[in-house]
Amino acid sequence: MKFELPSLPYAYDALEPYIDARTMEIHHTRHHAGYVTNLNKLLDGRDELASRTLEDIISDIRLVPDDIRQGVRNHGGGHLNHSLFWQIMGRNKGGEPSGPLGDAIRSSFTDFASFRELFSKTALSRFGSGWAWLCLDSADRLVVLSTPNQDSPIMQGHVPILGLDVWEHAYYLKYQNRRSDYIDAWWNVVNWEKVGELFVHRHEMVSQTRAV
Ligand code: MN
């Protein structure tokens, strides 16, 4: 069982000026790569987990042996979370979602501006390191929530379709302590077409994180 670092679907400078190329390169080649390397080390020789997908393992973390459980939670969650994060951003993106996702956001949160305000506030108020998410809950309702560290929403039975990394490593080079400026800028790179696809295909758990 071996996981691989997925390629970014764009160049490191594609998200400039909102997210700088240096941050993207370090984030991908060191932070995400580190989660993958550590996850592979943890799972080496653990044949009892080899037949399961990473989503299956993380969604029922209690089934992972004690001695590697916290490590798999951190590094496996890190791999899942970042694999989604890269996909839902892109060059010349931003704006507002249309189609079924746009309709669902308006029906769940009144309008896009209210959704954006709630999501930004959730990202800003996460103390320390973690993520803000737009997910579908077990009843297929859209929910905004936050997780600490590299915990994945799938640990709570939620399917994430949009995530924002608010670890300092995601923004510190350009924004230092100004997390709210990073959050405001990030809306300009959200790839709503991709988030809309994930919304429509949510029951398939589209993933780049299959073991090879
Ligand atoms: Mn990160």
pLDDT in tens, 154-197: 999 999 999 999 999 999 999 999 999 999 999 999 999 999 99
pLDDT top residue among 52 and 24: 24
Q: Ligand 1 centre and the CA of 129: distance in Å?
A: 9
**If you classify domain 99-211 with CATH, what class do you get?**
alpha beta
Please tell me whether residue 161 adopts helix, strand or coil conformation: strand
Distance CA 128, CA 131 (A): 10
Distance CA 11, CA 21 (A): 8
Question: What is 21-87's CATH superfamily?
Answer: Fe,Mn superoxide dismutase (SOD) domain (1.10.287.990)
Which uninterrupted H or E stretch holds 135?
A: strand 130-136
The 10s digit of each residue's pLDDT in 83-120 is 999 999 999 999 999 999 999 999 999 999 999 999 99
Q: Ligand 1 centre and the CA of 53: distance in Å?
A: 21
Provide φ and ψ at 169, rounded to 5°: -65, -20
Q: Ligand 1 centre and the CA of 180: distance in Å?
A: 17
Provide φ and ψ at 135, rounded to 5°: -130, 165
Distance CA 65, CA 45 (A): 13
Q: Ligand 1 centre and the CA of 38: distance in Å?
A: 15
Report residue 193 as tokens: 């077409």
Listed by start position, the domains of the chain span 21-87, 99-211
What pTM, to 2 d.p., does this model score?
A: 0.94
Confirm if 189 and 18 have CB atoms less than 8 A apart: yes
Question: What is the structure's pLDDT at 206?
Answer: 46
- Of 124, 123, 126, 97, the C-alpha closest to 111 is 97
